[in-house]
């Protein structure tokens, strides 16, 4: 079942958000490069206050080093970093940029128990915390297992799923990676009594900066743009994309939905997750707010560029 969300109800949904949205970013940074773009974007948006960064999936201690080096380069060591659930040792695709960076030299706060840090921050918050999940949702499921009550004090915005459109614009759904990698975690997050908003492939799967907009980031001397482009150029997947454009920036859409929906076309879809990791509309499924397209794609891209290049 798909139900379009009216302009009035979208506005009402944002009324409970404070002027600066407190955000926990749960990220599998170091795999696809879009996490790095999304992190830098959030740091460049005045509407957001990033309260904590938790690394997710595979070699999370090494990903914590990557997050620390990025924050150090950006002068944002005020943001705590925490190591999420380690469940693999896959090589970082940004290892060349990370180099031999020593976490011991990092001046900011680093927590070994990322899930515990997430739970504590939500529980102590005096306002709703937005958890932006741009990787597999293992950390969130573990947080719910430890303390189910956090669902009453947080909302989730995730890059997750594929409803009618798959990878590369294919007109049928795919088992999207963030869901497929940990199906039971995605089901746990979907089953908890918090508001869930997702950016599925339907709306975010073709977000690529090209031409003049990419050039503004590429040629910018701003710190966020420099760090993003350095990582992009060092990224193991860089050769798959033309010189004058970005890769697909899926996660930047979830980052945007943390604080605004003006540029997007939202629908409420009742969803279930099958055993293969597909997110399927179903009459008795859980209502999820889904970004299914754009009202102002240019406006979003301009905001993205400005968040990095200014």
Tokens of 263: 């540029």
Q: Give the Cα separation of 305 and 296 in Å (integer).
A: 15
Q: What is the mean pLDDT of residues 231-257?
A: 98
CATH number, domain of 93, equals 3.90.245.10
pLDDT tens by residue, 38-77? 999 999 999 999 999 999 999 999 999 999 999 999 999 9
Q: How confident is the model at residue 19 (pLDDT cuts 50, 70, 90)?
A: confident
Q: Give the Cα separation of 254 and 156 in Å (integer).
A: 10
Q: How confident is the model at residue 210 (pLDDT cuts 50, 70, 90)?
A: very high
pLDDT tens by residue, 73-131? 999 999 999 999 999 999 999 999 999 999 999 999 999 999 999 999 999 999 999 99
Q: How confident is the model at residue 2 (pLDDT cuts 50, 70, 90)?
A: very low
Q: How confident is the model at residue 18 (pLDDT cuts 50, 70, 90)?
A: low
Q: How confident is the model at residue 266 (pLDDT cuts 50, 70, 90)?
A: very high
Q: What is the mean pLDDT of residues 179-196?
A: 98
**How many domains does the structure of the chain reveal?**
1
Name the β-bridge partners of 198.
158, 290
- For 34, the domain range is 2-309
Q: How confident is the model at residue 136 (pLDDT cuts 50, 70, 90)?
A: very high
Note whether 297 and 197 are within 8 A (CB): no
- Please determine, for residue 3, whether its predicted confidence score (pLDDT) is greater than 80: no
**Burial call 111-133: b when 16+ CB within 10 Å, e when fewer:** beebbebbbbbbeeeeebbbbbb
Q: What is the mean pLDDT of residues 284-309?
A: 98
In order of 173, 221, 238, 294, the CA distances from 248 in angstroms are 17, 23, 11, 16
**H/E element holding 269?**
strand 264-273
Count CA atoms closer than 13 A to 107's CA, side-chain side: 8
Report how far Cα 214 is from the mean position of its chain's Cα atoms: 20
**Nearest C-alpha neighbor of 258 from the set 54, 67, 47:** 47
In order of 14, 18, 260, 289, the CA distances from 9 in angstroms are 9, 17, 13, 12
Note whether 186 and 277 are within 8 A (CB): yes
pLDDT tens by residue, 145-180? 999 999 999 999 999 999 999 999 999 999 999 999
- Please determine, for residue 4, whether its predicted confidence score (pLDDT) is greater than 60: no
Long-range contacts for 16-21 (Cβ within 8 Å, ≥24 apart)? 16/128, 17/128, 17/130, 17/259, 18/127, 19/47, 20/46, 20/47, 20/48, 20/49, 21/47, 21/48, 21/49, 21/130, 21/258, 21/259
Note whether 155 and 259 are within 8 A (CB): no
């Amino acid at each position: 079942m798909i139900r379009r969300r009216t302009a009035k109800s979208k506005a009402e949904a944002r009324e409970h958000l404070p002027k600066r949205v407190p955000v926990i970013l749960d990220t599998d940074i170091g795999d696809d490069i879009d996490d790095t773009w999304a992190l830098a974007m959030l740091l460049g948006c005045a509407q957001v206050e990033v309260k904590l960064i938790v690394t997710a999936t595979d070699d999370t201690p090494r990903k914590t080093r990557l997050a620390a080096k990025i924050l150090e380069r950006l002068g944002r060591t005020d943001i705590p970093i925490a190591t999420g659930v380690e469940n693999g040792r896959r090589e970082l695709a940004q290892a060349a940029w990370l180099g031999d960076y020593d976490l011991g030299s990092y001046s900011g706060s680093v927590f070994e128990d990322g899930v515990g840090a997430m739970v504590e921050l939500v529980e102590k918050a005096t306002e709703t915390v937005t958890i932006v999940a741009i990787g597999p949702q293992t950390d969130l499921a573990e947080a719910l297992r430890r303390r189910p009550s956090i669902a009453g004090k947080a909302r989730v915005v995730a890059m997750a799923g594929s409803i009618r459109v798959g990878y590369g614009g294919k007109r049928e759904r795919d088992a999207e990676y963030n869901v497929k990698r940990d199906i039971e975690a995605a089901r746990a997050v979907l089953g908890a009594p918090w508001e869930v908003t997702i950016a599925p492939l339907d709306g975010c799967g073709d977000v690529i900066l090209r031409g003049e907009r990419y050039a503004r980031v590429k040629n910018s001397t701003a710190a966020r743009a420099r760090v993003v482009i350095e990582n992009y150029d060092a990224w193991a997947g860089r050769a798959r994309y033309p010189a004058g454009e970005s890769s697909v920036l899926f996660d930047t859409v979830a980052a945007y939905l943390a604080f605004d929906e003006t540029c997007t076309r939202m629908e409420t879809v009742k969803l279930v997750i099958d055993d293969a990791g597909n997110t399927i509309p179903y009459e008795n499924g859980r209502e999820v707010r889904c970004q299914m397209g754009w009202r102002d794609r240019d406006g979003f891209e301009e905001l993205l560029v400005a968040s990095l290049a200014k």
